[in-house]
A and B are shown apart, each in its own frame.
Chain A
Amino acid sequence: MKNSFLITILLSSVAFTSCETNYTEIPADDTVLDGTVEGLSHEESARFLRGDEAFSKVFTRGTGLGPTYVSTSCVSCHTGDGKGHPSTILTRFGQIDETGNLFLNQGGPQLQNRSLPGYFPEQVPFGATFTKFTAPATTGLGFLEALSDADILAMADPNDMDGDGISGVPNWIDIPDFVIPSSNAISQNGKYIGRYGKKAAAHSLLHQTANAYNQDMGITSIFRPIDTYSHLEIDPEVATSTVNDVVFYLRTLKAPIQRNQNDAVVNQGAAIFNQINCTGCHKTELKTGNSPIAALSYKTFAPYTDLLLHDMGSGLDDNYTEGNAKTYEWKTPALWGLGLSGNSQGGNFFLMHDGRARSVEEAILMHGGEATASKINYQNLTQSDKAALLKFMKSL
């Protein structure tokens, strides 16, 4: 009796555990930001994973961290590939107009506000203006990179010819030697269109990634060999192949998937979004051009950005800028993934460039400048229309 009891327990245990069941559920694709674009080859998927691993690598003194830095890994700021939290906010300083950064010889543009024991963290130099940036989400960036310059310029309206009060302009920036513009890139006076960063001051994902290794973590690469602490050229602390794998990872992270697409209130909100001309900047449909990654070529996507700079009014003027942008101009942030911001910001919303808006509505109400008309339109909506609009935005 006892023996059969024991044998029954053992056999049922083995039977129970040997099945191929996953004991936890895979989160629905539209509830998480990480994951690959559809259609990657096996080799591309393997490279994506190598990039993912490098994105999560934590640097230490022994592997080149700092000695002054902002964070110890990419993923520390871009948790879950989503928007960053105020605890990992970074500071940029030293540039007040398009003539350039006056404090480059004093550590500008980025403050390395943390340091290893035995080193002082950097301080904002006396007289330098500064602003703070929370980390942006990293999803769907490959689609934005595969958008042609011509398509970006087609959305620009510097003289507001259509009279809607919105006059987006690209940020024309100098690009470093290691950034090779695509064959159909458009230049103006030797400058190229910036796409990444709050002020659109990085031209490509390689440009952005090499800067981030160097400025955020104090890691030199073949692309950015100058140590941010000593200001001397030193041997690369990260392999070129690793940087390229991270760039590939960022390129091939999927675009966020909208939730509740068949919900009537969400669709009503989408119509209101269009009606009050949020779409003047937050473009709902764009199409990629040719990409070396087949999965990104000629794809229609909905980033809710035009990648252009817009005057956002004095309330958002921090008296600091980058590239050719004015201090009151900001690149339209992509709204895709907005509703999942809480999943990377500890259940809260920290929106706008520095996380000052604690809700989507607060963010809307902070809009000024070219977005004033849309903000007033929002304020004039009925409560139910406002609720529908907010529900739509949180579905993104």
Chain B
Amino acid sequence: MKLKFLYILALLFSLNSYSQIDTSLLKRTPKDSTKQALNMDAVYNRPFLNIGKTPIAVGGYMEANWQRLSTDGVSEGHQFQARRLTIFMSSAISKRVKFLSEIEFEDGGKEIAIEFASVDVELHPLVNFRGGIIMNPIGAFNQNHDGPKWEFSDRPISATQMLPSTFSNVGAGLFGKKYSNNWMIGYEAYFSGNFDNSIIENEENKTFLPAAKNNAERFEEINSGLPLFTGKIAVRNSKIGELGLSYMGGVYNKYQDDGVIIDTKRRVDVFAIDFNTTLPKVKTFITGEWAWIKVDVPETYGQQFGNKQCGGFMDVVQPILKSTILGWENAVLNIACRMEYVDWNVGTFKETGGNIREDIWSVMPAVSFRPSSQTVFRLNYRFQKQTDILGNPPASTAGFNIGISTYF
């Protein structure tokens, strides 16, 4: 009896293992992630694997790199870094109801976050409902941040250290698009979870919006009790490029507790402009964004915590070779350069009238090789200067980074 049971079990296992390696079950729906639709389409413009005839598709991307940097002649040495492993899962629940999600494991699993998990309901081509964990669409990078799309291992400083990149919250709102000949216009508008006091109470010793990402409670509680509004409008002409204008704002502080007013309502307001274009004939791709932040910082604070910030980046990518290389068809070799700047504290000192600094600029030339549109090998060289709040001699950082990023 026992022997029969073991035979049956072994048979089942063998069938199961056969089915696991049956590649016909996994149907790839490739996407050329280098082709630009509107930035807001990025969540739909990802390569997925469909599992048989199920309505579920999975995908993702990973990024890893070697890096060696030095600051003022001091280096931490060689570093191998598992930047992130991101898994997408989507499902067409019905013809006009879709579910999309993105779960990210950063730094080898040190940080795990549900970055995106929303249900999209099409009411009309111009009016779609989205609800769940949404990515606040401020600027372009937050919407369109998948590693394999970029020629640089590092995310832009302005997107990670000023605007919170991949800042997601529970929320809901509407989005839509309209096409007309060469023109495309899209909008997004959401109410969501909000920032909190950590943006002015943090160990960065400056006004720092990304600190709010560390507050896991934002997925169940808004510190101020008032939602954050995020809205974006984008226009694209297939011959010119895309221009996006976005705004995000709300009351961030806990101004009342137990029904008692304990502070004035303090707002954070963020404005961003983004653009991208591909120059005809030479195929130079240019993308960038610039953002301005205004934060109501209590008067009882020192000027270390600024009430205005600004910064942005611009990437220029030039394909120099597109051919069959090492057996890869349509492989592309690019040269690229990223220029970026952030000023975390715009203003002047009350005591001296001198300029408050706390800024950084960086230039990052790069070479990238794409054996396919979904995989990129990158060699980046960074040179940056970071100045402290007082404007003392800046810290110089430079070094190389070699990495790979690929969808799977």
Residues of A within 8 A of B (CB): 2-3, 5-6, 9-10, 13-14, 16-17, 22-27, 57-58, 60-62, 71-73, 76, 79-80, 85-89, 114-121, 343-348, 350
Contact = CB atoms under 8 A, between A and B. Distances in A.
Contacts of A114: 300-302
B392 A121 contact: no
B401 to A, nearest CB: 9
Nearest to B326: A3
B197 A117 contact: yes
A119 B300 contact: yes
B402 A25 contact: no
Contacts of A58: 202-205
Contact of B367 (A9, A25, A61): A9
25 contacts: A3-B325, A5-B321, A6-B321, A6-B333, A9-B333, A22-B70, A24-B72, A24-B396, A24-B398, A25-B73, A26-B73, A27-B73, A58-B204, A71-B302, A76-B205, A76-B302, A76-B304, A85-B390, A87-B302, A88-B302, A117-B298, A345-B390, A346-B354, A346-B357, A348-B354
Which residue among A3, A16, A23, A60 has the maximum number of chain B CB atoms within 10 Å of its CB?
A23
B72 A26 contact: yes
Interface string B390-408: 1111001111101000000
B390 A60 contact: no
Given A2-B323, A60-B202, A23 B301 contact: no
Contacts of B263: 117-118
Given A22-B73, A117-B300, 14 more contacts: A3-B325, A9-B367, A23-B69, A24-B397, A26-B74, A27-B72, A57-B203, A71-B302, A76-B205, A79-B392, A87-B303, A114-B301, A116-B300, A119-B300
Interface in B289-346: 298, 300-304, 321, 323-326, 333
Q: DSSP majority for the B interface?
A: loop
Contacts, number: 124
A343 B326 contact: no
Given A23-B398, A27-B73, A87-B351, A2 B325 contact: yes
Q: Considering the complex of A and B, which 10 residue pairs feature the smallest CB-CB distances, nearest first?
A: A26-B73, A346-B390, A23-B398, A17-B400, A86-B351, A346-B391, A22-B70, A58-B205, A115-B300, A58-B203
Given A22-B74, A24-B72, A71-B302, A347 B204 contact: no
A344 B73 contact: no
B72 A25 contact: yes
- Chain B residues touching A, range: 35 or more
Contacts of B402: 13-14, 17
A79 B262 CA distance: 34
Contacts of B253: 117
Q: DSSP majority for the A interface?
A: loop
Contacts of B323: 2
A346 B392 contact: yes
A73 B73 contact: no
Nearest to B305: A72
B379 interface: yes
Contacts of B352: 85-87, 348, 350
B201 interface: yes
A150 B300 CA distance: 45
A88 B399 CA distance: 34
